[in-house]
Chains A and B, each alone.
Chain A
Amino acid sequence: MAKRTEAGLPVLRMRPVPKGRTLEIDALEEVRSLLGEAPRRRDLLIEHLHRIQDHYGHLSDRHLLALAREMGLTAAEIYEVATFYHHFDVVKDGADPSARLTIRVCDSIACEMAGAAGLLDTLRERLGEGVRVMAAPCIGRCDSAPAVFVGNQVVEEATVESVEGFVADEKTAAWAPDFRRLDAYREVGGYSAFRQCASGELAVDAVIDTVRESGLKGMGGAGFPAARKWGFVRTEPKPRALVVNTDEGEPGTFKDRSILEDDPHQMLEGALIAAWAVEADTIFIYVRDEYLGCLSALGAAIDELHGDPPADLPEIVLRRGAGAYICGEETALIESLEGKRGEPRLRPPFPAQSGVFGMPTLVHNVETLYWVPEILEKGAEWFAGTGKDGHPGQRFFSVSGRVEKPGVYLAPNGVTVRELIDHYAGGMLDGHEFYAYLPGGASGGVLPASKGDIPLDFGGELAELGCFVGSGAIVVLSDADRARDAALNVMRFFAHESCGKCTPCRVGTAKSVTLMERDEWDGALLHELGEAMEDASICGLGQAAPNVVRRAMEHFPEEFDV
């Protein structure tokens, strides 16, 4: 007999449940001891989640609930952030916690071309209990593809055997790079430019003029003139901030990693000068979680700097990402710095007006800052003169794919892909013929070998073909590859990395993947979908996502003849 009320009304058979979850005192104690004296500020949420994840190998409901109490946030606020970032493993209480060891096999374009798919399958078969094998988006090791993370240890040019060896030897810790130390950097005149700035020997206007005349542009991909950005920020009220974008996630790009692992001080000096120029009190350095080597080098370099400061230093805050390509987008990065989901902000306001914690914020890529001290030392003309005719300046190109020697190469702006292949990267791999290339990572489109003599720089002929050089990530395809496969690979990457906020990108990337997985592509539909994504997505991710697809259909019609 159904339970009835005094009025004879049937009561919905619903279990009375306590509202919300009960906090466990034990969990609270565990979280407290992990956090120690660290402040409980909202912006440290991701840092605190890392502490729990690092210690327990996963995030359980009970710890998240305790963290919410400890930080004075709602449980849902913690949960939305924890589930956003791929390096956090949120595990329900009572469920089997995640494996003691996670192996991430990079499946982005260069690694896929080097056989990542087979490697992933075999590792999944062979590594069993306690080891979780998963695909991961670009980990910035395209020069040693296929690359694999065993825990925090990178395995370059990985094979099943080498990965198994690392697992067996329990070599899972991050590696600390041997970078150019402060002494060595000072010996070649390091930090003298910053000292001159700080002491007043160099005037702000003069420094900005020099940077302007050098033609230095944003190396993160947008190519916006650096000096103009400084000018914008300087017109905004104080306090101001500088953010160093070290979230180099664009597939095919690994130059910032190379810079920081070798020479963090030159970037730091550039950051100090930029902060001085815009009178920023704080420098935030946001490092992607895949770049633990950079994090370690930067941490050590900052310690060295504090031990022997060349002048008064602004506050320098080093922050660790948690596995989200979208945080390379400057406003998503700022959100992440504030401890939130990495969803891009709506513009206006622009970061220069209102950025991190509402402060007018200068956001720069690592390489952009890296060049600043050298430009001040050697002069604007020197830097401008390093480029080819009509293409002032030089930059680090990340070259990967079917070349003999993939790597980071310093080359003049305006260099062509053929020159990069032949003069820098040791030519094509044996038995491979140059077929196509991605001039700007996953976002910059794809071109056939016949367009291999176009100067690589912002704007110009490249732009006329619907492509861009972006962060200078050149992925070389050979006759063993197809442009459409590359397009599918990058679309899968974007679908995986879409933050999910706006409809065109969230659904558009996912639908594009399903359309492209068919043998026969519906070209008209993909174009139309691509246009909507380009026009209506909030940020660059969704806007650029259809680029390779559409260029593949334009420039490689023969691949689609059935």
Chain B
Amino acid sequence: MIQLTIDGRPVSVAEGSTVLEACDAAGVHVPTLCDSPDLVPYGACRFCIVKIEGARGLPTSCTTPAAEGMEVTTDDAEIRQVRTMTAQLLLADHPQDCLTCSSNGSCGLQDITAELGITERILRPMERDARRDESNPTFTFDHSKCILCGICVRTCREVQGLGAIDLVRRGYDTAVQPFGEVPIRESVCESCGECVERCPTGALAPRGFLPPEREVSSVCPYCGTGCLITLGTRGDRIVSARGDRSSPVAQGRLCVKGRFGAFEFVNHPDRLTSPLIREGEGFREAGWDEALSLVARKLDGARGDAFGGLASAKVTNEDNYVFQKFTRAVMGTNNVDHCARLCHSSTVAGLARSFGSGAMTNTVGDLGEADAILVTGSNTTESHPIIGLEIRKAVERGTKLLVFDPRRISLTRRAAVWGRQLSGTDVVWINGLMHVILRDGLHDQAFIDERTEGFEALREAVAAYSPERVEEIAGIPAADIERAARIYGEAERAAIVYSMGITQHTTGVDAVRSLANLAMLTGNIGRRGTGVNPLRGQNNVQGACDLGALPNVFPGYQQVADDEARAKFEAAWGVELPADPGLTVTEMVWAALEGNIRALYIMGENPMVSDPDTTHVEEALRKVDFLVVQDLFLTETARLADVVLPATSYAERDGCYTNTERLVQLTEPVIGPVGSARRDWEILCEVSTRLGYEMEYESTEAISDEIRSLTPSYAGISYDRLRAGENLHWPCPDETHPGTPILHSEQFARGKGAFHPVEYRAPDETAGGDYPLTLTTGRVLAHFHSLSMTGRSSGLLGLEPECFVEISESDAAGLKVEDGEYVQVSTRRGAVEAKARVGSRVPGGTIFMPFHYGDQPANRLTNPAVDPDAKIPEYKVCGARIEKISEERIAAPRG
């Protein structure tokens, strides 16, 4: 520690602290506009000048290291005069529209002006080329209010690792601009808004925010990263959002969806405020009692396997627990599933068999410790932006990045090797990597011997996958396979990160098991910076799986077919439970079409947009006798329902979410329920009770206590511990257990890790004949799932207002399609019109469409063929064609 005095006050600070930090520690306020605690000191605004005994001039405290015995004076007449003149220089050209400025009351320049007692400007304004950039629908950039503190530029570079903006030109002409000084929206800016949040003036200002009266943090409702958002409220409305620096995963960072798109939908006029009961083609509003009684009456006639329930990856652990309990104990069937089927069921199935547990083995923060990271089938910077940041930062610190993706996603720019495989050939290149690793002796024999079984069969299987053969089938140059294998194989710590590009195939389980093979082969499991890390796509998809919203398992992955497990739940719930695993989402659709499922209960899901071959889905939903949908909005699915029940959003309820890395986070309500919306578990309890099964909980915590008593992996995760701020990753078997950030560290969950030889199988449907292109689908940064939330955020919708299809320059030239032109995309299942985005993102022969748009549904086109094991549909590959369409056909506005 260093001892020094600030204005006569003694203070001690850590070695390496700046004088400004010492002032702060001494409780002495020093004005500054360009300092930000987690950015590299910049020393540009010059307000934090101080006097240091024995030192020349007026050094800036933010850049001067604190030293032993320093005597610092932070304020006197001379310092004040210099600060005042500096403020006058900034004020001279600054607009005087404080009353109408969105930063009024929270402006650094305003504060300093007041602090220095400045009452009038002494310098005349000069003309500056300072336009207002209104291009971005999530924030505005008023250059006339910019004081060039550089915080935005440094944030974009140092925090976001992006560098979309920079200081351009010099002297008085200096300005913050993106490349080419284009409107910010046309730049590579990802609209994360971190710079907006930190801007000390109104230069960068969010659209549609108001100063909040109070603030409460919650878990972001979008992807599975689990970032905490601090939501600001005025009365019963949410009016602002910012990152919560206490967030264990995000440390205050947010992406565009979390910052600009996570609250507008909550108070949106489209919110359902009372139950709806079908009346002919439409609905009528009804009271809760009437609606619930109707639901109970109808469901009573469809007990057993005639019933199917879809739980939700967007509601809490407690809600999901109650949902599966309702399905099993009240309706007497295991026909419960949710959209995890459509994203990571191949992970759950594959990893469970290889390792004994189907979850992410390591934490997000762990990635920074990897020497090599292999990212495949994950457009991380768009689908999991904060995890994308961790990867970017790791690369900046020297981690080698390997990317295997058919699309030129933004991470490819930072990749040491980018393998551009043909869609659906993942098993081939993964086997190829293992082939080289074994050939060159880069495998970890000790790990294989001690921790695994089945190695010889794997060795034999991969022998046939030489780099040359990989090049032939997967289209990745043999040399790149060699290089990638060496980087992964030689790394002391190598992590695998993957997502739906791997799982959403008819060979999804195979590919997942291949990745597991690769990690075990090199001993990259059970240590920091290693592991097999499936990134989960929704904020509680991990929790929904954990809590048994799956047809084959109770909470905690206890098999329904297991007599002992079933006996435990029967005893706890007081009923006899079915032993046969139920139907999956995809199977339920078929069962409904065949008339075997007569009633469906859908909680917070929108299969009409998210499931493959939606024409079939619609048929199935229309066919069932009774459809209940519990949601925030009248979604495409809800419109087909017999009864629609309004549920609370994430901001109106309490409960736990389990993020992608198995971290359990407790939230509290930010505002009261909108309209007469009720919590999901409350609604389910009401229905149960009406069906003769008394279900009542005093509180959400009471449900959690029941979960803990029945679910060993959650047993130690009490509300008390979570409220005390503990970060607990399951498994956490008792209340003294610290949680398990890294799985399989001593031994695998199943004992020995199981190698599983995998041979390449072609996708169910490949390009050819009338459908010469390969269609692949996915997400875009600004949107989430079926748009029911992001589509009600004007900022996000403004960023990506409509569906598009990415097409390569060569294919576009061949089809004479221009960038921005509407085209028709057809597959064997249907056709959708979308704007062509011509570029180099997809390779020749491949096209890409986002699946979010209900009115241009990419999933009308996708192939419902499923993986034989996990039943996950093959969203990522099917044959397609593109045709030009005439202007007239698209002239009529949609909707």
Contact = CB atoms under 8 A, between A and B. Distances in A.
B82 A536 contact: yes
B179 A65 contact: yes
B847 interface: no
Given A17-B185, A529-B85, A12 B801 contact: yes
Contact of A12 (B90, B798, B820): B798
Given A3-B893, A503-B147, A504-B86, A14 B179 contact: no
Given A1-B893, A514-B126, A496 B163 contact: no
Interface in A475-507: 495-504, 506-507
B592 to A, nearest CB: 24
B837 A502 contact: no
Nearest to A498: B171
A92 interface: yes
Interface stretch (B42-50, B439-447, B866-874): B42-50
Contact of B172 (A21, A61, A510, A525): A510
Interface string B771-813: 0000000000000000100011010011111101000000000
Contact of A9 (B123, B171, B187, B791): B791
B893 A535 contact: no
Contacts of B164: 74, 76
A181 interface: no
B520 to A, nearest CB: 33
Contact of A535 (B57, B148, B185): B57
Contacts of A23: 840
B170 A341 contact: yes
A514 B42 CA distance: 28
Q: Which of B81, B169, B802, B855 has the most CB of A within 10 A?
A: B169
Contacts of B187: 19-20, 76
Contacts of A11: 797-798, 801-802
B85 A532 contact: yes
Nearest to A497: B171
Interface in B173-189: 173-174, 177-182, 185-189
Contacts of B181: 92
Contacts of B93: 507
A14 B89 contact: no
Contacts of A536: 46, 49, 58, 82, 86
Interface in A80-130: 80, 83-84, 92
Contact of A346 (B43, B89, B122, B163): B43
B839 interface: yes
A532 B166 contact: no
A9 B270 contact: yes
A431 interface: no
Nearest to A349: B65
Q: Which of A7, A525, A537 has the most CB of B within 10 A?
A: A7
A364 to B, nearest CB: 22
A538 interface: yes
Contacts of A514: 124, 126
Contact of B148 (A1, A19, A500, A538): A500
A510 B163 contact: no
Interface string B239-272: 0000000000000000000000000000010100
Contacts, number: 220
Nearest to B820: A16
A80 B835 contact: no
A72 B414 CA distance: 8
A5 interface: yes
A166 interface: no
A488 B366 CA distance: 59
Counting contact residues on chain B (CB < 8 A from A), the size range is 35 or more
B86 A76 contact: no
Interface string B101-136: 000000000000000000000111010000000010
B173 A21 contact: no
Contact of A532 (B86, B92, B169): B86
B171 A503 contact: no
B248 to A, nearest CB: 29
Interface string B628-645: 000001001000000000
A68 B123 CA distance: 41
A74 B170 contact: no
Nearest to B128: A510
B794 A9 contact: yes
B889 interface: no
A237 interface: no
Contacts of A8: 270, 895
Contacts of A509: 171-172
A212 B185 CA distance: 59
A506 B172 contact: yes
Nearest to A348: B65
Given A14-B798, A80-B166, A495-B172, A506 B148 contact: yes
B89 A507 contact: yes
Q: Which of B135, B147, B167, B787 has the most CB of A within 10 A?
A: B167
A65 B186 CA distance: 14
B43 A7 contact: no
A20 B183 CA distance: 11
Nearest to B179: A75
A22 interface: yes
Contacts of A3: 801, 893-895
A447 interface: no
A77 interface: yes
Interface in B62-81: 63-65, 78, 81
Given A16-B802, A499-B170, A75 B180 contact: yes
A496 B85 CA distance: 21
B304 interface: no
Interface in A1-34: 1-12, 14, 16-23
Contacts of A80: 166-168
Given A19-B187, A75-B180, A80-B167, A503 B89 contact: yes
A79 interface: yes
A74 B270 contact: no
A155 interface: no
A108 to B, nearest CB: 16
Contacts of B843: none
Interface in A525-541: 525, 528-529, 531-532, 535-538
Interface in A309-350: 324, 326, 341, 346, 348
Nearest to B639: A6
B90 A507 contact: yes
Contacts of B174: 499-501, 506
A552 interface: no
Nearest to B185: A17
A6 B634 CA distance: 10
A348 B65 CA distance: 8
Contacts of A76: 163-166, 178-179, 187-188
B733 interface: no
Given A5-B797, A535-B49, A536-B58, A75 B170 contact: no
A500 B171 contact: yes
B712 interface: no
A529 B413 CA distance: 47
A84 to B, nearest CB: 5
B163 A5 contact: no
A79 B180 contact: yes
A502 B89 CA distance: 11
Contacts of A538: 43-44, 46
Contacts of B413: 72
A511 interface: yes
B582 interface: no
13 contacts: A9-B268, A9-B797, A11-B802, A14-B799, A19-B186, A20-B187, A77-B166, A500-B167, A501-B148, A501-B150, A507-B172, A528-B85, A532-B86
Given A77-B163, A78-B179, 10 more contacts: A6-B636, A14-B798, A21-B186, A74-B179, A341-B170, A348-B64, A501-B44, A501-B174, A507-B90, A536-B58
Q: Pick the 7 closest A-B CB pairs, nearest first.
A: A500-B174, A532-B85, A12-B798, A75-B179, A80-B166, A507-B89, A20-B188
